[in-house]
Copies of this chain bind each other. A is one copy, B any other.
Amino acid sequence: MLRFMKHPSGAFQSIVGRLARQVEWGDCDPAGIIFYPTYFRWMDAATWAFLEGVGYSAKRMRAEQLAMPLVSAQCEFLAPAEQGERCEVRSRIARFGGKSFVVSHEIVRGDGAALAQGTETRVWGRFSGGPGTPIKGQAISDEIKALFRVR
């Protein structure tokens, strides 16, 4: 479900994670189109899949007590999506800060139409004492940054 391609340009030359989604009955609302928090669910899932693609699977994140809590999130909704439509969430690292990073996401329908575009700003952190304990921000190493850079 996750492949990579080169990103044409940008401050950080990020690889692109791709996550396939199909709009489901339960993702939609009485207007017959996607309920907007669904896009944020997809963006969250896409970020986790993006990390899995570079070696940071959920299992490894748990084992190393890593977490990536949100600072902020935003999304623009460009076109409605109906149940059954096949989409792809395309994720890139837009920026790396010292302990934080920004992931940009494009949600594109099978026919190429852009449905939504959003960003998540997250902290790279570690649970101080296992899940449920406070999360402390960690410096993002050059090794981690390199995993997301186009080569």
Name the prevailing secondary structure of the A interface residues. mixed
Question: Which chain B residues lie closer than 8 Å to A67 at the CB level?
Answer: 31
Select one of B26, B52, B59, B130 contacting A37, CB under 8 A.
B26
Does chain B have a CB within 8 A of A8?
A: no
B82 pairs with A58, CB closer than 8 A: yes
B73 pairs with A74, CB closer than 8 A: yes
Q: A37-B37, A74-B75, A77-B69 are in contact. Are A135 and B58 (CB under 8 A)?
A: no
B70 pairs with A36, CB closer than 8 A: yes
Range of interface residues on A (Cβ < 8 Å): 35 or more
Contact with B along A67-108 (1 / 0, CB 8 A): 101111111110010111000000000000000000000000
Q: What are 17 contact pairs spanning A and B, CB under 8 A?
A: A1-B22, A22-B49, A24-B44, A25-B45, A26-B29, A26-B44, A30-B31, A30-B132, A31-B69, A31-B135, A37-B44, A48-B84, A62-B83, A71-B76, A73-B74, A74-B74, A74-B75
